Structure 1
Amino acid sequence: MKKLKIQDVISVGIYTTIYFLIVFLCMMGLRFTIPAFNSILIPGVTALFAGIVYLLMLNRVPRFGAITIMGSVMGLFFLVSGHFPLSFVPNIICAVLADLIQYKTAINKKLRTYLSYIVFSYGLTGPVLPLWFMKNAYVDSLVARGKDAAYIESVFAPVTTFSFYLCIFSVIIGGIAGMMLGRTLYNKHFSKVEDRSYDSTASEF
């Protein structure tokens, strides 16, 4: 496995920007359509639409470390944009695990791409997991940011056992469907254009 080069890092930056744009669009779409559950469904809905970006990055930058960089950049965004202080941790952990699955395991190539993408997609649960597991600390962080009681109550209104499982399983469903959609788009529009592939043949995506 070759090491990342400067041009590889630049390419990862481009795909990370596109991925961030998809996250933003999904967030805005959910905010206007399902406002009560928008933050909880962002990871799953993003996974549904970002599969093609993930595949393009794997093809353009078939190097261990590329996935980690993409996830880490997203984590840093959460860190500097006022989210709960530990929101960035899942992004980094999931990105590293996805990298290991994609490039350091010997399982079926197609299966490992699905698995790595699903694991990577769980990184976006970073801002919402504290709602269930670190409620008091999350409330304190909101108070420190000047949020009033009404706002805090609205944040925790959808936080139930059902919504937790909804968040977790939506990522699996969104990841599988998103990768299927991504493979279809890739093979239809990009496989004949891209001449570099992490697994030698685009059809194995």
Structure 2
Amino acid sequence: MNNKLQTKDLISVGIFTAIYFVIFFACGMLGYIPILFILLPAYMPMITGIPFMLFLTKVKKFGMVSIMAILLGIIMFATGHTWVPIATALIFGLLADLVFKTGKYQSFKHSVLGYGIFSMWSMGAMLPLWIMRDSYLQYISNSMGDEYTNAVISITPDWAAVAIFFTAFASGIAGAFLGKAVLKKHFQRAGIA
């Protein structure tokens, strides 16, 4: 088996990155409600678990998941977020890729764990609330107003960052199971996966 990424692999990465981001963006639109903004890492991985588990049926080579993660981080940066999503996407995308490789891209146990890890990349959108709090809150205030900003401040104490990281991981685990169930019920029956 050729372990080098080929054009068809990169096309799969591009297609699934686009699908993933469209769903991610749609989930993010709920962020106009402050509590849903903070809980994005809790519900987004469950919904995006469906296309991601379908993507894993196409992944047979190391690097495909890492490329997807980096592209997602770059898209987040290009759409107005800080540089932090690029860093978290690189870290958690690479760690997830290593987990998937350890399972030879076939193990469901490794797929579940890997997607839980991958899902933590989304914290890059939230981390500026804690690591560059003043400037990020000013940015939020300028775009969303003082009332929204005050609501965000009230629900983001220091300990919340750690809780949301673990929530993103747990949601990724749940999303992997949901994605696998949908994959088995619909996509395999249709001959897509």
Q: TM-score range by the shorter chain?
A: 0.7 to 0.9
Percent identity over paired residues: 31
Output the CA distance in 2 between the equivalents of 1:147 and 1:48. Answer: 28
Letter in 2 for 1:44: A
Task: Give the deviation of 1:66 after TM superposition.
Answer: 0.9
1:179 to 159, 176, 179: 176
Give the Å deviation of 1:28. 2.1
Q: How many residue pairs are counted as aligned between the two chains? A: 190
Q: Residue 69 of structure 1 aligns with which residue? A: 67
Once residues 72 and 85 of structure 1 are traced to their aligned partners in structure 2, the CA distance between those partners, rounded to angstroms, is: 11
In 1: Cα distance, 2:27 partner to 2:127 partner = 18
Conservation of the 8 A alpha-carbon contact between 2:119 and 2:172: yes
Contact 1:59 1:194 in 2 (8 A): no
Letter in 2 for 1:25: A
TM-aligned CA deviation for residue 181 of structure 1: 1.0
Task: Provide TM-score, normalisation by structure 2.
Answer: 0.84
Ranges in structure 1 where 5+ consecutive residues have no aligned partner: 196-205
Indicate how the Cα distance of structure 1 residues 90 and 113 shifts in structure 2: closer, same or farther if over 3 A, else same. Answer: same
What is the aligned partner in structure 1 of residue 36 from structure 2?
38
Whole-angstrom CA distance in 2 between matches of 1:87 and 1:60: 25
Alignment-derived partner of residue 14 in structure 1: 15
TM-score (norm 1): 0.80
Amino acid at match of 1:164: A
Question: Is the contact made by 2:102 and 2:110 (CA closer than 8 Å) also made in structure 1?
Answer: no
Range moving further from structure 2, 129-138 or 82-91: 129-138
Q: CA RMSD in A?
A: 2.7
Q: Pick the structure with more helix per residue.
A: 2
Letter in 2 for 1:187: K
Paired residues of 1:47 and 1:121 also in contact (CA < 8 A): yes
Which residues of 2 match residues 193-204 of structure 1 at below 5 A?
A: 193-194=191-192
Cα distance in structure 2, aligned partners of 1:76 and 1:176:
24
What is aligned with 2:123? 125
